[in-house]
């Protein structure tokens, strides 16, 4: 019976995320797991249930990795399975097996234990994914409730970990209420306390969310009244992985991006046939057909768009500057060679039409894909580098068009990293990515969810451009002003303003993690004193 409950819990958990998007199941998905754990005859059996839950959950959310490895990287299927088991399933088993073991160790039948200790324990388990380099901080239950816009606004106080804390608390209090109601205990107080806590933990975020959304919208209106909004142009080229990394077609892709970035071009048509080796020919031919764009634009191209180092010289950048216009800013993914190590870096070029060129180099590398982590599991994909050098540039970059907080691909999953760019003065956030590796799976949706959460946490506009989608202009309350579709060649335009609204999470960071550590420490100390 306990095994069935674990299976049901893992299934409900997975259903709360994309592609299923049944977000409300997150509020009770953990209840069957808690039932099974407390029914287990020993701590060891409880830990085994946690291990099983971690394996099922990680498989349900990370299934996309196997076809990514076999279809795109041509990894031998048995090796892909081994990689999935060791690098995805095993860490989840260890984390959630450990969480459940501590659960049983510090357990106490008291409403405050369910309201504080259990959520703290779960939150600390999720936080481990951010601190251990070989792990990825994805799949936290707080992301699943993003569709409930009012509820998630409280993320600007405690971040994604705060939402995880609240959702786990709701699960725990629901289980406590159900258990006590089944026992038919006549004392009203036994149900009143957890019921009151449940109402409180649900009502407070909703009320806060309604107030905060109104404040954000008023702030945007005030900014718009003082300064004209800036036009965001997000270009999704939708080039296949083969087209991007086969070593051919660089100038044709550049021409396509230039055409899509010009004024009122809308969606791009078919690929330009042939390869032109002279950049002047490309720029001049494109300019002849298209008018210059208006000033005050921020154009964003996806990750590794400028991906042929041999072509990235001063002459090319000058031609791009001339094309985009004096008052435009282009932020494009590209490659850069590290002078110290000779290795390639995954970078973002900030190209201003007034002649300023700056760069951000990706600081947090993707384990196994961008850094080998002792073993080269994946190998090389055409001309794509098999390993990158970590960047050392700050994430907040000064430009003539405001201060931009830049992140590349999965850096968006690290909330404190993004918050540091805002605390350093970023007026708006930019995330560039290439999610084409994942196909039509849950992962592009999860990356989009993460970008929306970072916008809420820091109360900044987020400009996101991904090669195959999703590209989106995201408001500071998490709303998507506009969004592309997956695997479509599209450009989206939208207006945004530079924000300076203070968010508690930006200032104080992961204070809830420290609070959770204190709560768990007190629970452990109480256990020691009780034994004495």
Beta bridge partners of 297: 231, 328
Position 497 pLDDT exceeds 50: yes
Position 228 pLDDT exceeds 60: yes
Going by pLDDT thresholds of 50, 70 and 90, the confidence category of residue 26 is: very high
Length of the chain, in residues: 532
| Rounded Cα–Cα distance for residues 478 and 497 (Å) | 15
- In the chain, the percentage of residues whose pLDDT exceeds 70 is 90
Contact in structure between 377 and 368 (CB atoms under 8 Å): yes
Task: State the chain's maximal CA–CA distance in angstroms.
Answer: 85
CA angle 300, 461, 330 (to 5 degrees): 20
Contact in structure between 129 and 413 (CB atoms under 8 Å): no
For the record, the structure tokens of 413 come out as 């999953």
Q: What is the pLDDT of residue 456?
A: 98
Q: What is the pLDDT of residue 268?
A: 40
Under DSSP, the state recorded for 410 is: G
Position 437 pLDDT exceeds 50: yes
| Mean pLDDT score, 111-130 | 96
Instruction: Return the exposure string of 400-421: e unless at least 16 CB atoms fall within 10 Å of the residue's CB, then b.
Output: ebbbbbbbbbbbbbbbbbbbbb
Position 378 pLDDT exceeds 80: no
Residue tagged 């038919």 (tokens): 184
Q: What is the pLDDT of residue 342?
A: 86
Contact in structure between 350 and 360 (CB atoms under 8 Å): yes
Position 123 pLDDT exceeds 50: yes
Helix axes of 442-458 and 415-423: crossing angle, nearest 10 degrees: 40
- In the chain, the percentage of residues whose pLDDT exceeds 90 is 71
| Mean pLDDT score, 492-517 | 96
Q: What is the pLDDT of residue 279?
A: 53
Phi-psi region of 469 (alpha: psi -120 to 50; beta: other; left: phi over 0): left
Beta bridge partners of 462: 429, 474
For the record, the structure tokens of 170 come out as 């709701």
Going by pLDDT thresholds of 50, 70 and 90, the confidence category of residue 301 is: very high
Q: What is the pLDDT of residue 383?
A: 63
Q: What is the pLDDT of residue 187?
A: 60
Position 269 pLDDT exceeds 50: no
Options 3.60.110.10, 3.30.565.10, 3.30.70.20, 3.40.50.300; CATH for 229-501 is 3.60.110.10
- Which of 340, 341, 394, 384 is CA-nearest to residue 363? 394
Q: What is the pLDDT of residue 275?
A: 43
Contact in structure between 101 and 46 (CB atoms under 8 Å): yes
Q: 120-129, 237-246, 414-423, 511-520: which range is least confident on average? A: 237-246
Structure confidence by residue, pLDDT tens digits, 317-338: 999 999 998 889 999 999 999 8
Position 449 pLDDT exceeds 80: yes
Domain(s) labelled CATH 3.60.110.10 in the chain stretch across 229-501
Chain CA centroid to CA 235, Å? 19
Whether cis (ω within 30° of 0) applies to the bond prior to 513 is no
- Which of 97, 110, 18, 23 is CA-nearest to residue 53? 97
Position 237 pLDDT exceeds 70: yes
Q: What is the pLDDT of residue 399?
A: 92
Phi, psi angles (nearest 5°) of residue 177: -60, -45
Beta bridge partners of 360: 348
Q: 142-156, 173-187, 384-398: which range is least confident on average? A: 173-187
User: What does pTM read for this prediction?
Assistant: 0.92
Going by pLDDT thresholds of 50, 70 and 90, the confidence category of residue 267 is: very low
| Mean pLDDT score, 240-245 | 85
244 contact partners, CB below 8 Å, separation of at least 6: 253, 304, 307, 434, 467
Most confident range, picked from 27-41, 246-260, 294-308 = 27-41
For the record, the structure tokens of 521 come out as 């420490």
């Amino acid at each position: 019976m306990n095994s069935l409950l674990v299976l049901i819990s893992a299934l409900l958990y997975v259903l709360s995320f994309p592609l299923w998007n049944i977000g409300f199941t997150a509020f009770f998905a953990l209840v069957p797991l808690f039932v099974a754990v407390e029914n287990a005859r020993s701590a060891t059996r409880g830990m085994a249930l946690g291990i099983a839950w971690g394996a099922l959950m990680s498989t349900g959310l990370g299934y996309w990795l196997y076809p990514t490895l076999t279809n795109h990287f041509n990894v031998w299927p048995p090796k892909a399975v081994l990689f999935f088991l060791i690098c995805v399933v095993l860490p989840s088993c260890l984390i959630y097996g450990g969480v459940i073991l501590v659960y049983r160790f510090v357990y106490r039948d008291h409403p405050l234990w369910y309201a504080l200790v259990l959520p703290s324990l779960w939150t600390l388990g999720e936080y481990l994914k951010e601190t251990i380099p070989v792990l990825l901080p994805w799949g936290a239950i707080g992301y699943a409730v993003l569709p409930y816009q009012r509820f998630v606004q409280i993320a600007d106080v405690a971040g994604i970990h705060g939402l995880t804390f609240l959702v786990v608390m709701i699960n725990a209090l629901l289980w406590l209420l159900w258990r006590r109601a089944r026992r038919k205990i006549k004392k009203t107080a036994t149900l009143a306390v957890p019921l009151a806590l449940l109402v409180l933990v649900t009502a407070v975020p909703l009320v806060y969310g309604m107030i905060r959304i109104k404040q954000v919208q008023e702030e945007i209106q005030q900014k718009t009244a003082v300064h004209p909004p800036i036009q965001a142009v997000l270009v999704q080229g939708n080039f296949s992985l083969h087209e991007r990394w086969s070593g051919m077609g660089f100038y044709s892709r550049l021409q396509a991006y230039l055409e899509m970035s010009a004024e009122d071009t809308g969606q791009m048509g078919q690929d330009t046939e042939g390869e032109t080796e002279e950049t002047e020919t490309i720029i001049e031919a494109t300019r002849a057909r298209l008018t210059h764009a208006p000033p005050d634009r921020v154009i964003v191209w996806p990750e590794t768009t400028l991906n042929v180092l041999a072509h990235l010289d001063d002459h090319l950048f000058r031609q791009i500057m001339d094309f985009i216009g004096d008052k435009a800013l282009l932020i494009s993914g590209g490659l850069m060679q590290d002078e110290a190590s000779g290795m390639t870096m995954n970078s973002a070029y900030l190209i201003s039409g007034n002649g300023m060129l700056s760069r951000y180099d990706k600081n947090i590398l993707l384990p196994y894909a961008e850094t080998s982590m002792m073993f080269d599991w994946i190998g090389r994909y055409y001309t794509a580098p098999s390993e990158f050098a970590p960047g050392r540039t700050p994430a907040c970059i000064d430009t003539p068009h405001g201060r931009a907080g830049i992140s590349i691909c999965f850096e968006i999953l690290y909330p404190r990293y993004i918050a540091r760019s805002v605390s350093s003065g970023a007026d708006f956030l930019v995330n560039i990515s290439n999610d084409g590796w994942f196909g039509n799976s849950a992962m592009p949706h999860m990356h989009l969810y993460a970008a929306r959460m970072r916008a809420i946490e820091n109360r900044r506009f987020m400009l996101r451009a991904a090669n195959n989608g999703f590209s989106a202009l995201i408001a500071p309350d998490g709303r998507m002003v506009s969004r592309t579709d997956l695997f479509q060649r599209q450009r989206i335009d939208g207006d945004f303003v530079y924000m300076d609204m203070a968010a508690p999470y930006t200032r104080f960071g992961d204070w809830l993690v420290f609070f959770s550590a204190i709560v768990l420490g007190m629970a452990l100390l109480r256990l020691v004193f009780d034994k004495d």
